[in-house]
Amino acid sequence: MPEGDTIFRAARSLHKVLAGHVVTRFQTAYAHIERVNVDTPIVGRTIDKCESAGKHLLIRFSGDLILRTHMRMNGSWHIYRPGERWQRPRHEMRIVLATATYVAVAFAVPVAEFVDATVIEREGPVAELGPDVLSTTFDAAEAVARLQDRGDFEIADALLDQRALAGIGNVFKSEILFAARVSPFTPVHLLDAGALDRIVAIAQRQLRANVGEADTVAAAGGRRTTNRLDPSARLFVYGRRGLPCRRCGTPIQRAKQGPDARSTYWCERCQPRVL
C-alpha cells in the first residue's frame, strides 16, 4: 500500500524523466481536471519539478500550476516509453502526461486536482500536513509537539494523523511501535517526551531506509524494517498475526483500531499495554 516511502520514490522517478521537459500530450478521465486543461492548456508547459509531500505527489508546471494526486490504497504512477505496452488495464487510466521521450500514466488514482502554486502551502490538504518524515527540513521537535497535542489519541492513531507527522501509514505505524517497544494502544499523554522522541527518530530512520536510491514508481511492497535479506523476513509484525515474534517468540496479535478500523499488529510481550 502506498505510504510516504512509496510516494517519495514515485516522485523521484517521475522527476528524473520529466523535469525540464515540455508536455506534448495530456489526457485525463476526470472532468474537473479536463476543465482546467481546456481553460489553461497543459500541453506546451514545462514540467519544473516532481516531489512528494507526505502521501501526496506534486507535479509542478510552468505558470504556477501544480497537479496534486493521492494514491489512497490502489493508485500508482507508471513510466513508459512512447508506444510501450501499459502494465495495467486502459480502463484504470486516470491521467496521461507525455513528453517527447516518456509517458507517465496515473492508474486508479482516486484523488487528483490542479492547484495554484501560490496557495498550495496556505490552504488545502498539503497546507494542513505535519512535518514530513522524508523531508530534508524535517523538524523532529515540531513532530513531537504535534503528537503531544493529540494527548487523548492512542499512539498508533496519532501516528496515522497526517497533521501530526506526514508520510506514516498502516505498515510503518505497527513497525515503528514494535521497534520502540510501545503498545499501539497507549494514550499519547502517558508517553513522556523521551518516548515520543524515540518514536519519531525510529519513524524517520525506517522511512529513510526504505527510499534508498532505486528508481521505482510501483505502489507494491518490498519495504523492510528488519534489515534482513530474506524476502520472507522483511517486517517485524505487520501481516504476521499468529506467527512468532522475531524477538521473543510470542504469537503476533492483530486488532482493528481507531475510527477507520485499521489493522494494528503488535507483540503483547515486547509491547506490554500500559494499565
List CB contacts of 145: < 8 A, sequence separation 6 or more.
none
Is 173 known to be catalytic?
no
Question: How far is the C-alpha of 149 from the C-alpha of 197, rounded, in Å?
Answer: 14
Which of 49, 181, 262, 268 is catalytic? The answer is: 262
Question: How far is the C-alpha of 104 from the C-alpha of 11, rounded, in Å?
Answer: 11
Is 55 known to be catalytic?
yes
List CB contacts of 75: < 8 A, sequence separation 6 or more.
2, 69, 94, 106, 107, 108, 109, 110, 111, 219
Which of 9, 55, 150, 223 is catalytic? The answer is: 55
Is 262 known to be catalytic?
yes
Gyration radius of the chain's alpha carbons: 20
CA distances from 251 to 224, 227, 231 (A): 20, 21, 20
Question: How far is the C-alpha of 253 from the C-alpha of 268, rounded, in Å?
Answer: 7
Is 121 known to be catalytic?
no
Active site residues: 2-3, 55, 262
